[in-house]
Each structure stands twice: as C-alpha cells, then as structure tokens.
A = this chain, B = another copy of it.
C-alpha cells in the first residue's frame, strides 16, 4: 500500500502489462472497443486499465479470433492492462438461462445460439482473451431474492470459485475472487471468508449496481470491505457515479468499473467539477464556453458547448466521441485527485467537497444499469 487516509487507500497494482495506481476507474469496452472512442483517444483520457466482457466477446468475434490476434490488447490496439469479467453477470440476467451445479445454459441474445458457461469454460475463454485480470465465475442473483436463497447461492459461488481457480493456468493473468451475499451483513461476511480461504490475487464485491440505492450500497460496503485482506486489491463491480466512487474509496475500495461515463456521454451528459450538464439542452445552443471550463482534455481545449450541442442536435457521431473522451478524462482525473488527496492526508476534505457537489445525485437511483 502506498498510503492510507482513514479507510481510503492508495496502492499500486503490478500487472502483466504494467502498473496501475489506485484508486482507479476502468472504462467499459464491452465488445472489445470503448464505445465511440478510438484507442489513441482512450490513452489521452489518462485511463490506466479498461474492462472487456467475456460473455459478448466469446460470442462475437469468438475467443478463437481474439486468440489469433495474440489476445485482446493487440486486437483492440490498446497497450493498457485489461480486466475481463467472467460472463456470469450477463448470463444470469438473461431470461431463459438454466442454472445447475455444473453451470449456466443460455441462448445468446443476438442469434439464440445455445451456449453453456461454467467456471471451467469462463476460465478457458478469459485465458484465450489474454486479459491481465480474470474474474471467477460466480452465481449472480436477481435483486430482491430472499435470504435463504442467497445463503445457498454464496455456497455455490464458493464452489465455483474453487473450480475457477483450479481451471486457471495463465501465470501472466491475475485471478480475482468475488464476494456475494446480497444485503445481509452475515452472508457478506461468510462469503468473504469462503472466498479469502480459497485465496485470490484480488477481491471483488459483486451483486451491487442491480437496482439498490446509494445508502443500501454503502451499507453493504461497510459490512464487507473490512473482511477482506488489506494487502490485496478490492474491486467494487459495476459502480458508479462520482459520489459512489468517493464513498467507495472512503470504505477501502481500490477499483471500479461502470458504463456511466461512456453511456451518459452518448446521450449528451457531461461530468464536470461542478456537477453534470446535459449539453444537448437548449440552454447551450449559443454557449461559447468549453464543455468543462476547468478541464484540460482535447474536447474542452478545442470545442464549445454550442458546437457539442449542435453535433448532438444533428446526430453527428462526433458528438458522442468528444463527450466520451471528456467524461473518461474527467473520471480518470477525478480518481487521480482522490489518490493525491489520500497521499497528502486530506481525503476527508475531498470527500466533503464531493458530497456538496454531488448532493443532488446521492439519493437518486443508480441510472447506469447494463
């Protein structure tokens, strides 16, 4: 660990393709591309590591094609470390998936192709994709299941985690476990215990960003993070908004991923130091200011709100690209500032300011379900 300030941590992850300084936010490149953004622009955002999705990539283009490229990095033209998820979250959210102890049978949503995913199969795919961090294949429950069902599920997840670890061979690829347990502190503690007993390179907290509120999410973090080893990275999956990132860091989380900055960008929503602005709003029609006046990204250095407004109005793809570049730059810069605040022992100040700026957001539903 590089520094600790209250619960907040600054660490350095050593991965096959380089080091990552935490806290860190990972942009999502679901289908092997950050939506609407060229790899050279991804690098410009200051992002340190990106995420790609096993479920989607195993179907299209298929992991054999990725492997033929030498893995995701050369295929995507991105020299940054990559984390792949296990595919679990997606296949469990499909309506007609059938689950048994062996794994999950499902129809690929695009062409109905009958497919099977299991801990062993997920490891096979992720190793072919060649990511720097692979995730175990876990059971993901829908929001609102009862405690008895959740208690059974964390036992299965533990068995699947053990199978994932047994099937994992690549030494240049880290493997992270996932703690489940819904909104019950005792189940989170039990799942954390089962997962750390197996032993992984890092630990993720799953089952959040499924429709719960901000307070509920924080309660789960309070009940979970301190059961995880302090010397391993902690990753909060699928979260989130800037205020979620700050409160997650305050509770000892090191890594995050979320579609919010990229998805919101494509609808004209920009994140700035003083809150969000919807640049497609009429009020920006002749606004000659930079999208974010305190931002040093290519978009903010080069263009006005009025021009971005115009691009969204006429449906030019470039609007989505420039907004995505800005939002990812903002998220990366925001995480870097948190790290510096931790290193300098003033994270609580940063957090107080963040709470003020994002006050109106904290109690809104997380609007980035994927």
Closest 9 CB pairs of A and B: A77-B302, A61-B310, A36-B317, A33-B318, A31-B314, A33-B316, A75-B307, A65-B286, A317-B317
Taking CB atoms, residues of chain B closer than 8 Å to A288 are: 68-69
Interface segment among A37-45, A121-129, A165-173, A224-232: the answer is A37-45
Q: Binary interface profile of A, 18-39, with partner B (CB < 8 Å = 1, else 0)?
A: 0000000000000111111111
Taking CB atoms, residues of chain B closer than 8 Å to A158 are: none
The distance from the CB of A158 to the nearest CB of chain B, in whole angstroms, is 34
A61 touches B317 (CB 8 A): no
A167 and B350 CA atoms in complex are apart in Å by 59
Report whether over half of chain A's contact residues are helix, strand or loop; otherwise say mixed.
helix
A285 touches B316 (CB 8 A): no
The distance from the CB of A36 to the nearest CB of chain B, in whole angstroms, is 5
A298 lies within 8 A of chain B by Cβ: yes
The distance from the CB of A311 to the nearest CB of chain B, in whole angstroms, is 6
CB within 8 Å of B: which A265-314 residues: 285-286, 288, 298, 302-304, 306-307, 309-311, 313-314
A341 lies within 8 A of chain B by Cβ: no
Taking CB atoms, residues of chain B closer than 8 Å to A316 are: 31-33, 35
Contact pick for A38, options B39, B56, B321, CB 8 Å: B321
Instruction: Provide a sorted-by-A list of 20 A–B residue pairs whose CB atoms are within 8 angstroms.
Output: A32-B307, A32-B310, A34-B318, A36-B317, A36-B321, A38-B322, A60-B310, A61-B306, A61-B307, A61-B313, A64-B286, A65-B286, A65-B310, A68-B286, A68-B288, A75-B303, A75-B306, A76-B307, A77-B303, A321-B321
A320 lies within 8 A of chain B by Cβ: yes
- A interface size (C-beta, 8 A): 41
B68 touches A306 (CB 8 A): yes
Tell me the number of copies of this protein: 2
Known: A38-B38, A68-B288. 6 other contacts (CB 8 A): A31-B316, A32-B307, A60-B313, A65-B285, A68-B306, A76-B307
The distance from the CB of A189 to the nearest CB of chain B, in whole angstroms, is 40
The distance from the CB of A27 to the nearest CB of chain B, in whole angstroms, is 13
* Chain A contacts to B: CB under 8 angstroms: 31-41, 56, 60-61, 64-65, 68-69, 75-77, 285-286, 288, 298, 302-304, 306-307, 309-311, 313-314, 316-318, 320-322
The distance from the CB of A341 to the nearest CB of chain B, in whole angstroms, is 32
Contact pick for A65, options B35, B306, B314, B320, CB 8 Å: B306
B317 touches A321 (CB 8 A): yes
The chain B residue with its CB closest to the CB of A318 is B33
Taking CB atoms, residues of chain B closer than 8 Å to A285 are: 61, 65
The chain B residue with its CB closest to the CB of A304 is B69
